[in-house]
Amino acid sequence: EPEVTQTPSHQVTQMGQEVILRCVPISNHLYFYWYRQILGQKVEFLVSFYNNEISEKSEIFDDQFSVERPDGSNFTLKIRSTKLEDSAMYFCASSELSPRGGSSPLHFGNGTRLTVT
């Protein structure tokens, strides 16, 4: 079964540095998402992406964050000038076009654990 893959599985960075989290969505999916989960807290929506542009973003997704689909397979989340509170698990997800009357489920990757020191 096709999977969403994320790299790296764990990223450690110093405060103020920039990080890029990488994701390869399922190949025939058209919608891409980033979520984050701070340790012990709920999973929070960051952004959704369709047709090479942001569809929706949350209040968390400020100017510090950006997303990009640099080629036909990768989907990246860039965090500029990381802060301690950016430490979290970051999940990438993708979904296909919804069939009429249905809801295409989100398929999640295994996550990237980001630690900011």
Partner 1 sequence: AQTVTQSQPEMSVQEAETVTLSCTYDTSESDYYLFWYKQPPSRQMILVIRQEAYKQQNATENRFSVNFQKAAKSFSLKISDSQLGDAAMYFCAYRRKGGLHRHQETSGSRLTFGEGTQLTVNP
Interface with partner 1 (CB under 8 A): 30-31, 33, 35, 41-45, 48, 50, 55-56, 58, 89, 91, 93, 95, 97-98, 100-111, 113
Q: What angle do CA 35, 37, 42 make, to 5 degrees?
A: 105
**Total residue count of the chain as it appears in this document:** 117
Minimum CB–partner distance for residue 63 and partner 1 (Å): 20
Nearer CB in complex with partner 1: 50/64: 50
- Give CA–CA dist 77/11, Å, rounded: 13
Minimum CB–partner distance for residue 13 and partner 1 (Å): 19
Nearer CB in complex with partner 1: 14/39: 39
Nearer CB in complex with partner 1: 81/115: 115
- Give CA–CA dist 6/10, Å, rounded: 10
Nearer CB in complex with partner 1: 82/94: 94
- Give CA–CA dist 86/38, Å, rounded: 8
Minimum CB–partner distance for residue 99 and partner 1 (Å): 9
Minimum CB–partner distance for residue 104 and partner 1 (Å): 7
The backbone torsions φ and ψ at residue 25, rounded to the nearest 5 degrees and listed phi first, read -70, 170
- Tokens standing for residue 71: 């080629």
